[in-house]
Amino acid sequence: MGDFSGKAVLVTGAARGQGRSHAVRFAAAGADVAMLDICGPVDEHVPYPPATPDDLAETTELVTKQGGRAVARQADVRSFDQVKAVVDEALAAFGHIDVVVANAGVYTCDWGWEIPESAWNATIDTNLKGVWNTIRATVPAMISAGNGGAIIITSAENAIRGHPLISHYAAAKMGQVGLMKTLATELAPYSIRVNTVNPLAVNTPMATGAAAATIIETLMRLRPGSDEPGWVEPDDVSDMVLYLASPEAEGITGIQVPVEPKTAADSPA
Ligand SMILES: NC(=O)c1ccc[n+]([C@@H]2O[C@H](COP(=O)([O-])OP(=O)(O)OC[C@H]3O[C@@H](n4cnc5c(N)ncnc54)[C@H](O)[C@@H]3O)[C@@H](O)[C@H]2O)c1
């Protein structure tokens, strides 16, 4: 979808899952791709295995196989300095950044009144402050390049409808929507569009473990009549991310776009 030849894209959380898919799809569409990922644990309460340096190396290989240039570094989005260092390296290599995909994210699983403070901080600092860090590290260069551009923030379906056991995650994902709407207004004069994708149940390591199953079971218990969601594949989210980044979406800014399973019948057994 689309031709991103001559464009440069930054993807955070690119070691695996959706971030990997977005990075590879942009490279396949002709873009140069800068990638960063923590490639390690974010907090001791995170209930699924962390990404690794090997994961990021694999994404990098997949990107370069598509013919795109790549910059890939281990960095924590909670640290502005770490994000800025990768952005500066990407600007030195590519000369510009046209598209930002603020995708890195994390969650832990607890009743809202029992969330350990370190889990609260890790979730808010990664999912909300990390997105702000990504934006403030990239936007000044995008404005001065004068080429316009697109920012896509990976929010979540639970910024639209509440799910139990992830109130800190929901607060951050809804916070991202506020950030997106404000920035869409502020950046309109520079032709930089800002939107969120809001997926539900994407088939990645974050969502396929026991904790995610507990969330769904709890949702169905607390909200009788809820259907168990099917799976969205990372590539389905990439379809929407690439569309929002493309000239075809030139009139679209300041909105949240749900990406949900097509039908329950499409979900794996
Ligand atoms: N999987 C789902 O069902 C689902 C649904 C809605 C939204 N999301 C969101 O999609 C995004 C991508 O998640 P995913 O499903 O691919 O999961 P994932 O765990 O496979 O990928 C997330 C990536 O982000 C990286 N990351 C986490 N914290 C980081 C930090 N502080 N600094 C840098 N990198 C960090 C991880 O190392 C990992 O590689 C996240 O923002 C997530 O909240 C996921």
Q: What are the pLDDT digits (tens) for 44-64?
A: 999 999 999 999 999 999 999
Q: Is 16 in the pocket of ligand 1 (CB under 6 A)?
A: yes
Q: What does the pLDDT look like over 214-244, one tens digit per residue?
A: 999 999 999 888 878 899 999 999 999 999 9
Counting ligand 1 atoms within 8 A of each CB, the residue from 73, 202, 216 with the most, and so the one to mutate, is: 202
Question: How large a percentage of the chain has pLDDT more than 70?
Answer: 97
pTM: 0.97
Per-residue model confidence (pLDDT) at position 229: 82
Closest residue (by CA) to atom 1 of ligand 1? 202
Per-residue model confidence (pLDDT) at position 228: 82
Per-residue model confidence (pLDDT) at position 2: 86
Q: SS3 for 21-79, per residue?
A: HHHHHHHHCCCEEEEEECCCCCCCCCCCCCCCHHHHHHHHHHHHHCCCCEEEEECCCCC
Active-site residue list: 169
pLDDT at 124 over 80: yes
Cα separation values, 264 from 112, 135, 238, 259, 268, Å: 29, 36, 20, 14, 9
pLDDT at 267 over 50: no
Q: Is 105 in the pocket of ligand 1 (CB under 6 A)?
A: yes
CATH number of 8-200+233-259: 3.40.50.720
Could you tell me how far CA 78 lies from the centroid of its own chain?
Answer: 14
